[in-house]
Copies of this chain bind each other. A is one copy, B any other.
Amino acid sequence: MAPDALPVSQMPAVPPRILLGPGPSNANPRVLQAMSSSMIGYLDPDFMLIMNEVSELLRRVYQTDESLTFALSGTGSSGMEAGLSSLLEPGDTVVMCIYGFFCERMVDMATRVGANVVPLRAEWGKPFPEDLLEEELGKHAKVKLVTAIHAETSTGVRQPLEGISALAKAHDALFMVDAVTSLGGNEVAVDDWDIDYCYSATQKCLGCPPGLSPVAVSPRAHDTVKSRDSKPVSWYLDLALNANYWGFDRVYHHTAPVSMILALREGLRIVLEEGLESRFERHRRNADALRAGLDALGMEAVVPREHALDQITPLWIPEGVDDDTVRGMLLREHNIEMGKGLGALAGRVWRVGLMGESSRAEYVLGLLSALEDILPRVGYEVPQGAGVGAASKSLSTA
């Protein structure tokens, strides 16, 4: 191969998608502008001020005065791995509440770092039963960590966390929470809920591109990481080393992804300009409208409304309708991305994400009208206009 002989690419520009899958969601234009800022050094004193601002904005979004808040230089899964590999030492017992695809990912990661992993598997699509945890915790002399996922995007369940937290604390365990899909779209109250390690991602309800994992580390979790007997298996995701760079010491760790941090700053400003409560209400209102529309088309959500997330709504694929065909038509004819099922729900559900910038009334109506157009052509008759009408009514009475 002649390495210099490059044909200039004829690749088209990025198509203008409406992203209603599990993420990335659409990004705010102000955030995209921040992404194109010129470079600045990761130890530049002006960049240190920007990092301070990001930490402060994150404290507000995470609703914490107590915790260290910063961003890891990887996607949401890196936040998951950072927590498990930094909080757990080989042989430590971790009790994991398991009720979906991403819960199982936690089991895989914790096993890799050599922990004594106790997975408590409960039914997918329902909130985790706390008595299962209570019973299990009673069997162990020492549990280091209890884990849960606030918003399981594979099932669409909104998991209440206060009961699980209280049980963990009653047994002197740390409590780790995945808020990848909830932060910025749902209340996440790190101090009130006594969460020791909480991680999220930029591309869901924060309106940013994917690439960072914002985290909140309680004083107790920070002490735990600093007083380990062994170093964490991961250097890159070592929470103590990352905290040193983001904290007052500013000790060089790795070259920070400065563009993404500038984008996150802008995304967090937008979240707080809208206001947390207003933002949560917007997510609720649009999810209600989506559900009203789906009901009117005879399509069923996997999770009953009272336990369901506003951010992502898995729905059963109608009998006889082909998963890929419909998602392909949506993408090619309407430029709308809808998510597919994962794990035990692969091929059986679609997942509609209404997160951050993608949680908009016009997208709800656009998706419903597209489904009204497509479904009859693949053999599933729907009452024309009924979905859009029901959603509009829901929006106007919200």
Contact = CB atoms under 8 A, between A and B. Distances in A.
A49 interface: yes
Interface size on A, as a range, is 35 or more
A81 B74 CA distance: 13
A342 B32 CA distance: 34
Nearest to A13: B37
With a 10 A CB-CB cut-off, give which of A45, A57, A211 has the most chain B CB atoms: A211
**Copies of this chain, tallied across the complex:** 2
Interface string A112-133: 1110000000000000000000
A14 B40 contact: yes
Interface stretch (A143-151, A155-163, A273-281, A282-290): A273-281
A220 interface: no
A41 B209 CA distance: 11
B17 A256 contact: no
Contacts of A138: none
Contacts of A293: none
Contacts of A259: 35, 209-211
Contact of A4 (B17, B78, B113, B275): B275
Given A77-B235, A235-B109, A38 B16 contact: yes
18 contacts: A3-B61, A4-B275, A27-B38, A33-B36, A41-B337, A45-B331, A73-B211, A74-B78, A108-B235, A111-B231, A112-B232, A209-B259, A210-B256, A210-B258, A233-B234, A234-B237, A236-B237, A257-B260
